[in-house]
């Protein structure tokens, strides 16, 4: 336990100062909490309400002997208070404040003290309410709210640690920021919205004929203008204190407002739809952040764990979400097409959404997704615009590799970035052949992301013999081929998924496929159409294995894409003795689709035929679980590609299976697994969605609980995995935090 501090002095007993004093008084961290306020009534009320032990009228009386002095006065009063504070004997006291603009506080402190005092820790809690005054003081006001500390270069580290500790004791989340960055961020996220709210209400109110409007104003007006009820004096101070940063963001907003005006004036509906759909997507993203859901940020992903209980049996019918590969391509080709493409069954997972957002950022108007429906207003092969910043592609290798080909042929520069896992994945495999076509691409060290792609290059078609079986590399080059002079062709060492070739043809673009070689010529155009995305066989695979290994199961998987370049998982399971029937086969939008009926079966270990590896490349994590439940040994070779997926899937699966008591020996290009009894244990999925789902399936045959760490990325490919898994009979749920 740390020693109790002697005295906290809070100058200014309004909502923020009063709440800080009251909250810390309740923690007992200080022997005494002293309030300083000019207003005698506030001083008396503060003591009555338990906000402070005693109150003083002057700084000199209040600050004597204080360990910490919190300045919670209005921002423009800060100058005067600091000047007076500089004349008071402060001893070792640490000073901090809560001003919502920091540059001016720092300047005022420098002026008052001659140089910035090392004991001063500027801060700003992002909390408040429309209420004000000491009566509104609330000890839990800062709980789960952010507090930004903006230490000056002269700020003493010990003082910084102490102030941080106080905010943490109040339940706040403390972050650090550079002073000017803080002021820019707050100008945009807080000051501008308040300015607009005050301004709009005033504009409408001062025109007498508009007063009528208020009588009919409904939710929209109320929501938008709620903050115009805030304290006018405080806000008038803030705009004067943060003048430069506010003016900068206001000018940007004025220009955008002019564009909106022009779009309305000229009846430009597509531009309006573009602005509104982008804004809606950004707002949804923000709502998720507010709900503290992990999103595109692996920092948080480690927080999500699954708890899978042993045993269970699968039954019923399941329709898993849309195919990831086809969903990516529907946005890409829909954007490059002429006309409007309607997509049904789109996968609303983070990977495909990253592609969707990238095209929105390049000026494509995209409506949705709403229940799997997306409408893409194509801009033609030459209609993309330079995005405002780097394109962040999250966890999605497909987005980055396919986009790199497409972007190499544009007239503008782009930068492609991704999360921690994507940032480790090899991009040399696309950068090298693209450079041979004349593209200018810079990668990070060892050919890893980020990728910087220089626009305005003349690409020339060429033939490329792919050294590895990769649909992403093939697709990347075919997309670059749409922009390269002459013909671009790719041949692959083994068949890989051919969704790009099929969809290009579906959009009326000629692709010449001869054996293992696919070729395109530039100069054509894509014509928009309708796309129906089948359920993803890679997601269905978890249930194919689950129903196979859980005794007494029978499950029907509906509307699954069974493109022959994707069905390796069915072939491998059948070779192991699996009972899978393909029913109701049909062709939907150029892709074969069927319902898959799977029954429990006694599986046996096999040597997996190497030619099936590319046809089941994403399904191996769960196939390894099938191997662990099979009688005998399963041997996989020729699958070194698994080492460079979202994680090193050979190593991570071997480690996890060993935790469960299974003999699993990794080899450079595969694994050897002995079937056996699975125990329980704690598994690290390394943020790999398919590993997390594979071990959820393993629980069906485990003897004890399996806890799976780092599962947030399941949302990249299979949103609502837990709901669907539970509905089918797998006892897996989010682990509740103790
Ligand atoms: C994909 C191709 C495969 C696969 C990935 C999706 C695609 O990657 O693993 O999940 O949509 O083209 P590789 O091309 O690296 O094998």
Choice among 196-210, 359-373, 672-686 with the minimum mean pLDDT: 196-210
- Round to whole Å and give the CA distance between 700 and 625: 10
pLDDT band of residue 289 (cuts 50, 70, 90) is low
- Could you give the CA distance from residue 511 to residue 502 in angstroms, rounded to a whole number? 8
- Residue 130 pLDDT: 64
- Ligand 1 centroid to residue 552 C-alpha, Å: 34
Give the pLDDT mean for 254-282: 94
Chain Cα centroid distance, residue 469: 30
Closest CA to 352 of 410, 402, 408: 402
pLDDT-based confidence at residue 210 (cuts at 50, 70, 90): low
Q: Is 645 annotated as a binding residue?
A: yes
Atom of ligand 1 nearest to the CA of 469: 16
The verdict on the CB of residue 475 being under 6 Å from ligand 1 is yes
Cis peptide leading into residue 450 (ω within 30°): yes
Per DSSP, what are the bridge partners of residue 518? 490, 513
The pLDDT tens digits of the residues spanning 718-738 come to 999 999 999 999 999 999 764
**187 has pLDDT over 50:** yes
pLDDT at 151 over 70: yes
Ligand 1 centroid distance, CA of 496 (Å): 8
Cβ–ligand 1 contact at 567 (below 6 Å)? no
Cβ of 96 less than 6 Å from ligand 1: no
Task: Give residue 351 CA to ligand 1 midpoint distance, Å.
Answer: 12
Is there an atom of ligand 1 within 6 Å of 710 CB? no
Count of Cβ atoms closer than 10 Å to residue 214 Cβ = 11
Task: Give ∠ CA 452-455-456 in degrees, rounded to 5.
Answer: 155
What atom of ligand 1 comes closest to residue 475's alpha carbon?
Answer: 12
Residue 497 Cβ contacting ligand 1 at under 6 Å: yes
Report the nearest-CA residue for atom 16 of ligand 1: 470
Residue 297, CA distances (Å) to 25, 130, 303, 629, 713 in order: 36, 32, 11, 34, 9
The atom number, within ligand 1, closest to the CA of 614 reads 16
- The verdict on the CB of residue 470 being under 6 Å from ligand 1 is yes
Does the C-beta of 472 come closer than 6 Å to ligand 1?
yes
Residue 649 counted as an annotated binding residue: yes
Q: What is the mean pLDDT of residues 35-46?
A: 95
Nearest-angstrom CA–CA distance, 196 and 481? 48
Residue 515 contacts by C-beta under 8 Å, 6 or more apart in sequence? Answer: 491
Determine the pLDDT at residue 293. Answer: 36
pLDDT given for residue 299 in this prediction: 40
Helix and strand totals (H; E) in the chain: 27, 32
Q: What is the pLDDT of residue 78?
A: 93
Q: Kindly compute the dihedral angle of the four CA atoms of residues 210, 214, 219, 222, in this order, to the nearest 10 degrees.
A: 100
pLDDT confidence of residue 295: 38
> Is the distance from the beta carbon of residue 357 to the nearest atom of ligand 1 less than 6 Å?
no
Q: What is the pLDDT of residues 651-668, one digit of tens each?
A: 999 999 999 999 999 999
**What's the pLDDT at 290?**
56
Q: Which of 395, 470, 478, 644 to mutate to test the pocket of ligand 1 (most atoms within 8 A of CB)?
A: 470
For the full predicted model, state whether its pTM sits above 0.75.
yes
CA-nearest residue for atom 10, ligand 1, is 618
| 517 labeled part of a ligand binding site | no
Is 131 annotated as belonging to a binding site?
A: no
Confirm or deny that 669 is annotated as ligand binding.
no
Residue whose CA is closest, atom 15 of ligand 1?
470
327 lines ligand 1 (CB under 6 A): no
Q: Which residue, judged by its Cα, is nearest atom 4 of ligand 1?
A: 618
Separation of CA 397 and ligand 1 centre (Å): 8
Q: Is position 425 annotated in a ligand binding site?
A: yes
Q: Indicate if ligand 1 lies below 6 Å from the C-beta of 355.
A: no
Which stretches within 100-191 are classed as H helix? 103-113, 157-169, 179-186
Encode 589-641 in three state secondary structure: CCEEEEEEEEECCCCECCECCHHHCHHHCCCHHHHHHHHHHCECEEEECCCHH
Taking the CA of residue 472 as reference, the ligand 1 atom at the shortest distance is: 14
Atom of ligand 1 nearest to the CA of 500: 12
- Rounded mean pLDDT of the chain? 94
Instruction: Report how far residue 302's alpha carbon sits from residue 421's, in angstroms, rounded to the nearest whole number.
Output: 13
613-636 tens-digit pLDDT: 999 999 999 999 999 999 999 999
C-beta of residue 158 within 8 angstroms of C-beta of residue 129: no
pLDDT at site 737: 62
**Is 397 labelled as part of a ligand binding site?**
yes
Distance (Å, whole) CA 35 – CA 53: 8
Residue 3 has pLDDT above 90, yes or no: no
Short-list 397, 451, 343, 317, CA closest to 689: 397
Residue-wise pLDDT for 544-572, tens only, equals 999 999 999 999 999 999 999 999 999 99
How much is the average pLDDT of 280-304?
61
Closest CA to 21 of 46, 58, 42: 46
Answer yes or no: is pLDDT of 257 > 50: yes
pLDDT at 211: 65
Residue 553 Cβ inside 6 Å of ligand 1? The answer reads no
How many Cα atoms occupy the beta-carbon half-sphere of 110 within 13 Å?
9
pLDDT at 45: 96
Return the SS3 of 324: helix
Q: Is the CB of 398 under 6 A from ligand 1?
A: yes
Whether pLDDT at 302 is above 70: no
Helix ranges restricted to H, 449-559? 471-481, 499-506, 537-549
User: Whose alpha carbon is nearest atom 11 of ligand 1?
Assistant: 325
Cα 585 to Cα 462: distance, rounded to the nearest angstrom: 38
> Residue 239 C-alpha to ligand 1 middle, in angstroms?
51
3-class SS of residue 165? helix
From the CB of 618, is ligand 1 less than 6 Å away? yes
How does pLDDT run across 567-590, given as a tens digit for each residue?
Answer: 999 999 999 999 999 999 999 988
Rounded-to-5 percentages of helix, strand, coil across the chain = 45, 20, 35
CA dist 582 and 592 (Å) reads 11
Give the nearest ligand 1 atom to 644 CA.
Answer: 15
> pLDDT tier at 409 (50, 70, 90 boundaries)?
very high
Q: Which pLDDT belongs to residue 607? A: 98
Once rounded to an integer, what is the mean pLDDT over residues 43-54?
A: 96
Separation of CA 472 and ligand 1 centre (Å) = 5
Ligand 1 atom closest to 617 (CA): 9
Specify whether the CB–CB gap between 330 and 371 falls below 8 A: no
Q: Which of 77-81, 206-210, 513-517 has the lowest mean pLDDT?
A: 206-210
Q: Does 233 have pLDDT greater than 90? A: no
Nearest to 76 by CA among 240, 247, 194: 240
* Pocket probe mutation, ligand 1, options 472, 478, 644, max atoms within 8 Å of Cβ: 472
Say if ligand 1 is within 6 A of residue 325 CB. yes
The residue with tokens 């990668």 is 443
DSSP letter, residue 395: T
Q: 477 near 487, Cβ under 8 Å?
A: no
Q: Which residues are catalytic?
A: 618
From ligand 1's centre to the CA of 594, what distance in Å? 22
* Pocket lining: 417 vs ligand 1, CB cutoff 6 Å: no
Residue 225 confidence (pLDDT): 87
Among 224-233, 663-672, 717-726, the minimum mean pLDDT is found in 224-233
Produce one character per residue of 680-701: b if its CB has 16 or more CB atoms within 10 Å, e if not.
bbebbbbbbbbbbbbbbbbbbb
Whether residue 196 contacts residue 226, with contact meaning beta carbons closer than 8 Å, is answered with no
Q: Is the pLDDT of residue 398 over 70?
A: yes
Asked whether the predicted pLDDT for residue 354 surpasses 50, the reply is: yes
Report the atom number in ligand 1 closest to the C-alpha of 468: 16
3-state secondary structure (DSSP) of residue 649: helix
- Name the residue with higher pLDDT: 230 or 346: 346
The reply to whether 324 sits in an annotated binding site is yes
List the beta bridge partners of residue 598. 555, 580
Q: How far is the CA of 27 from the centre of ligand 1 (A)?
A: 54
On whether 280 is known to bind a ligand per the annotation, the reply is: no
Residue-by-residue DSSP string for 668-737: TTEEEEE---B--EEEE-TT-HHHHHHHHHHGGGBSS-EEEE--TTHHHH-TTHHHHHHHHT--EEEPPP
Q: Is 472 annotated as a binding residue?
A: yes
């Amino acid at each position: 336990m740390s020693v109790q501090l002697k005295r906290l002095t809070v100058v200014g007993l309004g909502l923020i100062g009063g709440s800080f004093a009251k909250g810390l008084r309740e923690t007992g961290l200080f022997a005494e909490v002293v309030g300083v306020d000019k207003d005698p009534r506030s001083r008396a009320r503060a003591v009555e309400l338990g906000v402070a032990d005693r109150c003083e009228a002057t700084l000199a009386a209040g600050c004597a002997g204080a360990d910490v002095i919190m300045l919670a006065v209005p921002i423009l009063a800060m100058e005067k208070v600091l000047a007076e504070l500089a004349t008071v004997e402060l001893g070792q006291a640490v000073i901090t404040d809560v001003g919502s603009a920091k540059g001016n506080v720092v300047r005022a402190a420098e002026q008052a003290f001659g140089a910035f005092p090392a004991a001063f820790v500027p801060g700003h809690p992002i909390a408040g309410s429309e209420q004000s005054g000491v009566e509104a003081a609330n000890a839990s006001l800062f709980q789960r709210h952010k507090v930004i500390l903006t230490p000056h270069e002269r700020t003493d580290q010990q003082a910084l640690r102490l102030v941080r500790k106080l905010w943490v004791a109040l339940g706040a989340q403390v972050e650090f920021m550079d002073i000017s960055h803080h002021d820019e961020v707050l100008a945009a996220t807080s000051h501008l919205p308040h300015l607009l709210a005050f301004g709009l209400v005033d504009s409408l109110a001062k025109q007498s004929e508009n007063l009528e409007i208020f009588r009919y104003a409904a939710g929209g007006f109320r929501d938008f203008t709620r903050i115009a009820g805030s304290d006018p004096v405080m806000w008038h101070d803030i705009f004067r204190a943060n003048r430069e940063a506010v003016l900068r963001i206001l000018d940007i907003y004025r220009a955008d407002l002019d564009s909106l005006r022009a779009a309305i004036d000229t009846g430009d509906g597509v531009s309006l739809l573009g602005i509104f759909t982008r804004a809606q997507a950004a707002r949804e993203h923000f709502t998720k952040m507010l709900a503290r859901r992990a999103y595109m940020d692996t920092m948080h992903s480690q927080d999500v764990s699954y708890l899978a209980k042993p045993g269970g049996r699968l039954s019923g019918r399941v329709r898993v979400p849309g195919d990831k590969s086809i969903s990516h391509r529907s946005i890409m080709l829909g954007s490059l097409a002429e006309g409007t493409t309607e997509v049904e069954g789109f996968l609303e997972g983070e990977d495909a959404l990253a592609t969707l957002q990238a095209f929105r950022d390049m000026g494509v108007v995209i409506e949705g997704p709403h229940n799997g429906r997306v409408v893409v207003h194509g801009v033609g092969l030459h209609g993309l615009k330079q995005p405002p910043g780097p394109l962040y592609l999250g966890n999605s290798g497909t987005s980055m590799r396919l986009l790199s080909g497409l972007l190499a042929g544009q007239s503008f520069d782009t930068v492609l970035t991704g999360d921690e896992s994507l940032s480790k994945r090899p991009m040399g495999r696309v950068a090298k052949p693209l450079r041979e076509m004349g593209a200018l691409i810079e990668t990070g060290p060892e050919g890893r992301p980020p990728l910087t792609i220089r626009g305005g290059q003349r690409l020339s078609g060429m033939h490329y013999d792919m050294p590895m079986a990769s649909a992403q590399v093939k697709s990347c080059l075919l997309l670059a081929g749409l922009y390269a002079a002459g013909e671009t062709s790719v041949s692959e060492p083994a068949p890989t998924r051919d969704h790009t070739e099929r969809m290009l043809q579906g959009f009326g673009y000629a692709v010449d496929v001869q054996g293992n070689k696919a070729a395109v010529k530039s100069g054509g155009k894509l014509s928009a159409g309708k796309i129906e995305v089948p359920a993803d066989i890679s997601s269905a695979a978890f249930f194919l294995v689950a129903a196979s290994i859980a005794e007494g199961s029978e499950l029907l998987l509906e509307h699954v894409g069974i493109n022959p370049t994707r069905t390796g998982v069915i072939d491998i399971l059948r070779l192991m003795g699996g009972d899978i029937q393909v029913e109701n086969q049909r062709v939907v939008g150029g892709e074969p689709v069927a319902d898959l009926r799977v029954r429990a079966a006694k599986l046996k270990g096999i040597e997996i035929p190497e030619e099936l590896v590319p046809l089941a490349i994403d399904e191996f994590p769960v196939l390894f679980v099938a191997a662990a439940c099979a009688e005998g040994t399963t041997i996989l070779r020729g699958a070194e590609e698994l080492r460079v997926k979202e994680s090193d899937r050979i190593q991570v699966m071997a480690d996890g299976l060993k935790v469960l008591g299974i003999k699993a020996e990794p080899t450079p290009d595969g694994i050897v697994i002995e079937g056996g009894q699975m125990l329980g244990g704690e598994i690290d999925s390394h943020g790999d969605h398919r590993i997390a789902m594979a071990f959820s399936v393993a629980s069906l045959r485990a003897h004890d609980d399996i806890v799976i760490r780092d599962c947030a990325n399941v949302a990249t490919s299979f949103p609502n995995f837990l709901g669907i898994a539970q509905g089918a009979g797998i006892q897996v749920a989010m682990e509740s935090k103790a």
